[in-house]
């Protein structure tokens, strides 16, 4: 039985219960109305059905009544105009900090220096994998003495931006650049494959999974997941959304908000540490305890 058939069967059962029939029967155009359909959706929500399931059920019912309307069984579609429940936005998965550290540990892998430099761009700067493989040597600006640097990247819509490189990223990139000539470069790309050509997005994806298996990190890791982890860890560390937006290269701040989430304990701790009202409340509680003890 298809989802469509099951959805219709569920509504027929609900219809029979409302009309106090012992078993589902034929729908009557006079009995089916907007309120009944809404009650059906509410009943499904009360049973814990997901918004996506309720939206599909409503879509099935709209299709049924549209057919009945064309066949002149109904004079109007009672489901028309009923809005489907809003689908909740999925929070992006992130990598726990300890697993990120595992990925960044030195290994005996043949391309360890290149992989670590790649990870410094993906997680250390939150770049898209397409932006990382698109970086050329001429896009880098490194200052060895001060251990700072920056990189020019081309993001979505061919929009360019300059991203600062943290100290660790500078160190790892410099180590990779020293080894890079051994691949006999045939391209100006910063990151090369074993043939001296620009590294592909697919190659980076395979590298991450392979490295994760070897270091004990989550094998479901992807470049995009590292980007999410960067944004979330930055937010948890106290960075504001505007700063994270600039790193990620988002045109809209609302897009950045989708990439970041903080656990409730983190939010509560941040509130306690930074909000003046929270501190005042804490002092009040302490005084209250002292007075109660004195009495």
The catalytic position among 57, 62, 128, 228 is 128
| Residue 177 CA, distance from chain mean position | 32
Rounded Cα distance, 20 and 29, in Å: 17
* Lateral strand order in the sheet of 140-143: 140-143, 148-154, 160-165
Tokens representing residue 249 in the block = 């290269």
Q: How confident is the model at residue 107 (pLDDT cuts 50, 70, 90)?
A: confident
Rounded Cα distance, 170 and 176, in Å: 10
Q: Is 259 labeled as catalytic in the residue annotation?
A: yes
Q: How confident is the model at residue 133 (pLDDT cuts 50, 70, 90)?
A: very high
Mean pLDDT for the stretch of residues 170-174? 91
Question: For residue range 208-259, what is the model confidence (pLDDT) as tens digits?
Answer: 999 998 888 888 889 999 998 888 888 877 788 888 888 899 888 777 777 6
What would the CATH number be for the domain defined by 97-259? Answer: 1.10.443.10
The catalytic position among 19, 224, 258, 261 is 224
Q: Tell whether the model's pLDDT for residue 262 goes beyond 60.
A: no
Q: Tell me, letter by letter, the H, E, C secondary structure of 240-284.
A: CHHHHHHHHCCCCHHHHHHHCCCCHHHHHHHHHHHCHHHHHHHHH
Q: Is 84 helix (H, G, I), strand (E, B) or coil?
A: coil
Q: Are 256 and 248 in contact (CB under 8 A)?
A: yes
In DSSP terms, 189 is beta-bridged to: 136
Q: Is 62 labeled as catalytic in the residue annotation?
A: no
Nearest residue to 190 (alpha-carbon basis) of 149, 224, 225: 149
The catalytic position among 156, 186, 206, 285 is 156
Query: Residues 6 or more apart from 21 whose CB is under 8 A from it?
Result: 15
| Residue 224 CA, distance from chain mean position | 8
Rounded Cα distance, 98 and 246, in Å: 26
Q: How confident is the model at residue 93 (pLDDT cuts 50, 70, 90)?
A: confident
Rounded Cα distance, 227 and 143, in Å: 25
Mean pLDDT for the stretch of residues 173-185? 94
Place of tokens 């994998």: 129
Q: Is 19 labeled as catalytic in the residue annotation?
A: no
Exposed (0-12), middle (13-18) or buried (19+): which is 284, by Cβ within 10 Å? Answer: exposed
Q: What φ, ψ does residue 97 adopt, rounded to 5°?
A: -50, -40
Q: Is 163 helix (H, G, I), strand (E, B) or coil?
A: strand
Q: Is 277 labeled as catalytic in the residue annotation?
A: no
Rounded Cα distance, 150 and 139, in Å: 8
| Residue 208 CA, distance from chain mean position | 18
Q: Is 224 labeled as catalytic in the residue annotation?
A: yes
Mean pLDDT rounded to a whole number for the chain: 81
Q: Is 250 labeled as catalytic in the residue annotation?
A: yes
Domain residue ranges in the chain: 3-70, 97-259, 264-294
Exposed (0-12), middle (13-18) or buried (19+): which is 58, by Cβ within 10 Å? Answer: buried
Against a cut of 0.75, is the pTM above it?
Answer: no
DSSP state of 151: E
């Amino acid at each position: 039985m298809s989802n469509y058939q099951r959805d219709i069967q569920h509504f027929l059962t609900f219809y029979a219960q409302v009309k106090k029939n012992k078993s589902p029967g034929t729908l009557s155009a006079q009995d089916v109305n907007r309120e009944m359909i809404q009650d059906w959706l509410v009943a499904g929500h009360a049973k814990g059905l997901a918004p996506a399931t309720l939206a599909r059920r409503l879509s099935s019912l709209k299709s049924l009544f549209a057919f009945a309307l064309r066949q002149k069984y109904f004079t109007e579609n009672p489901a028309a105009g009923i809005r489907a429940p809003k689908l909740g936005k999925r929070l992006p998965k992130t990598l726990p900090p300890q697993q990120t550290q595992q990925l960044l540990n030195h290994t005996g892998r043949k391309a360890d220096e290149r992989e670590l430099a790649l990870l410094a761009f993906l997680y250390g700067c939150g770049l898209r994998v397409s932006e990382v493989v698109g970086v050329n040597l001429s896009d880098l600006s490194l200052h060895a003495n001060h251990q700072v640097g920056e990189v020019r990247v081309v993001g979505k819509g061919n929009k360019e931006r300059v991203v600062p490189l943290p100290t660790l990223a500078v160190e790892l990139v410099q180590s990779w650049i020293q080894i890079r000539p051994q691949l006999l470069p045939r391209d100006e790309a910063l990151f090369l494959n074993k043939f001296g050509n620009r590294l592909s997005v697919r190659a980076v994806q395979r590298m991450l999974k392979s490295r994760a298996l070897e270091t004990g990190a989550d094998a479901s890791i992807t470049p995009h997941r590292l980007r999410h982890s960067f944004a979330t860890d930055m937010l948890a560390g106290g960075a504001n959304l505007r700063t994270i937006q600039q790193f990620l290269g988002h045109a809209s701040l609302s897009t950045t908000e989708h990439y970041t989430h903080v656990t409730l304990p983190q939010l509560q701790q941040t509130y306690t540490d930074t909000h003046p009202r929270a501190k005042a409340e804490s002092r009040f509680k302490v005084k209250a305890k002292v007075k109660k003890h004195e009495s």
